[in-house]
Amino acid sequence: MPNLEFRPKRRRKRRGAPILVGVLCAAVFSAAAAGIWQLNSTPVQALKPLELDPSVVAAFSSSPQAVAVQAAPSSEPESSSQEPFPEEVSSEPAQSASGQSESAQTPGALEEQPRVTSAYFDDAVFIGDSITTGIKLYDVMSNTTVLASTGIGLENILSKPAIKYGEETLTAMQALAKTGAKKVYIMLGANSILGDHDTMVGLYGNLIDEVRRNAPDSVIYVQSVLPINEEIFHVKYNPNTDNSDIMDFNKKLAALAAEKQAYYLDVGSVFRDETGGMPADYTPDGMHINSAQYIMWFDYLKTHAIAAE
Amino acid sequence: MKKLAVFALCTLMILSLAACGSKSEAKELDLDAFAKQVIDAVEYDDDMVQLNEQIASEYYGLSFDGLEQWVAYGSGTAATTNELMLMRLKDDAAVSAAKEAVQKRIDDQTSNYEGYRPDELFRLENAVIEVRGSYLLFSISPDNDTVTKLFEDALK
């Protein structure tokens, strides 16, 4: 009988103790878990940014000419993939993808050629000013070499060390010599239109000579100065430059190219509307070109390329 | 016994709440989504394109220790010096290195545009470098008030 009285108490004690221990353990575990969670940093991994290829996005967006270019039957499947295509040059002339008249507005411009692939630009170098610097931004042109800088012009191209090349900052010619380029594209002169054209053409001629010296046996392309959108340019920059001045300069460049056994490319024809100027939606400031226009530029180059020997 | 159990359960609850509470102080920012939000919200006067690793390395170096993640956008046309760079950094040393890197970018661009387009210098002079927790914001834009406010709101 006395045992029965004690039993309930003992049972409560036995039930109580494990519960208390269990709760205390849970509390300690929770504290420990919270503490460890706080102290641990999240796994360190430098994430790459999303590879949005703006060039591809732009090419399939509203610009009708860019879309037409992509749909041209003779074009190879262009993608943002970094795998190089085997070099192939189609044996028949490409159709005029952009629908623009192929009669070059500047006499002496290189006519349309069989289309080349992106691989053509593997051993190409682009020399120029701020417009050329934009090429580096677009994955579809990532295989080519750009030697360009804002603030470079005909008057300082040979002297100004403005090109980042690896760890060094070099002049364009110093960098060119290191590239082993077989094709050299030049686009300069936009900042020199208001200067004396003959002087500027003389400087351009010196540049071509230096390019030949630093990249012997290369094909040299002199690209036209691009048209401006006069309305925007006159407000943003100065009211004195007109597309007719630019055309005059380009005619002299075409003649210079012939004299120097270089090819003159009327790249400006891609961006010229019926007024002879650049459409407003192609340019942020009357002079530079928007993302979609870089794609148009390169497509023009692919159909105006001299096959390497 | 009951009191002890109740006390222990309360302690358990408080500790759990404490764990949740302190975790929310280290706020996570989805850099990619935030950058897109800024690009959409600000009226940039230029095409802004996302920068790949090659071009971002050219602009900022990006070789210092403690850079955990970054996203960058820049002018796609070279017509302006507009830029947006966001970095997540491991520690104070990384934050210092990152600040140096973006300051160097401002200096480089200043020397590029000085003789050529002095009107861009105004934009560079108003560049914003802001650090909140582990995150660094670098912005050159026509509307840094909006950019800064978005950043501060995102990390409240």
ipTM of this predicted structure: 0.80
The answer to whether the beta carbons of residues A227 and A278 sit under 8 Å apart is yes
Which positions ≥6 away from A303 have C-beta within 8 Å? A94, A96, A97, A112, A113, A115
Residue B17 confidence (pLDDT): 63
User: Would you say residue B14 lies in a domain?
Assistant: no
The residue range of the domain holding B103 is: 32-154
| A interface test, pick of B12, B34, B43, B85 with most A CB neighbours within 10 Å | B12
User: Would you say residue B150 lies in a domain?
Assistant: yes
Residue A90 confidence (pLDDT): 35
User: Would you say residue B136 lies in a domain?
Assistant: yes
Type and span of the H or E element at A58: helix A54-59
Does A278 reach chain B within 8 Å, measured CB to CB? no
Residue B6 confidence (pLDDT): 75
Mean pLDDT of A50-62: 39
Does B21 reach chain A within 8 Å, measured CB to CB? no
Nearest CA in chain B to A140: B52
Angle at A134 (CA atoms; ends A232, B80), nearest 5 degrees: 45
A228-244 residue pLDDT tens: 999 999 999 999 999 99
Does A27 reach chain B within 8 Å, measured CB to CB? yes
User: Would you say residue B1 lies in a domain?
Assistant: no
Residue B1 confidence (pLDDT): 75
Does B16 reach chain A within 8 Å, measured CB to CB? yes
pLDDT higher than threshold 50 for residue A42: no
User: Would you say residue B4 lies in a domain?
Assistant: no
Beta bridge partners of A263: A221
The answer to whether the beta carbons of residues A299 and A98 sit under 8 Å apart is yes
> Using the beta-carbon criterion (under 8 Å), do B12 and A23 form an inter-chain contact?
yes
Q: How many domains does chain B have?
A: 1
The size of the A-B interface in CB pairs under 8 A is 120
Residue A19 confidence (pLDDT): 75
User: Would you say residue B81 lies in a domain?
Assistant: yes
Q: In chain A, pLDDT over 70 holds for what percent of residues?
A: 68
Residue B23 confidence (pLDDT): 44
A96-115 residue pLDDT tens: 334 344 434 578 999 999 99
Band of pLDDT at residue A31, cut at 50, 70 and 90: low
Q: Which residues of A touch B58 (CB under 8 A)?
A: 136, 164
The whole-angstrom distance between A309's CA and the closest CA on chain B is 31
Handedness of CA A39, A42, A45, A50 (dihedral sign): negative
Task: Output A36 or B72, whichever has higher pLDDT.
Answer: B72
From first to last of the 156 residues of chain B, give the pLDDT tens digit: 788 877 777 777 777 665 555 444 568 899 999 999 999 999 999 999 999 998 999 999 999 999 999 999 999 999 999 999 999 999 999 999 999 999 999 999 998 888 778 888 999 999 999 999 999 999 999 999 999 999 999 998
Nearest CA in chain A to B86: A49
Collapse the DSSP code of A151 into the 3-class scheme (helix H, G, I; strand E, B; otherwise coil) and give the result.
coil
User: Would you say residue B27 lies in a domain?
Assistant: no
User: Would you say residue B114 lies in a domain?
Assistant: yes
> Can you tell me the distance from the alpha carbon of A65 to that of A59, in angstroms, rounded to the nearest whole number?
9
Task: Output B122 or A11, whichever has higher pLDDT.
Answer: B122
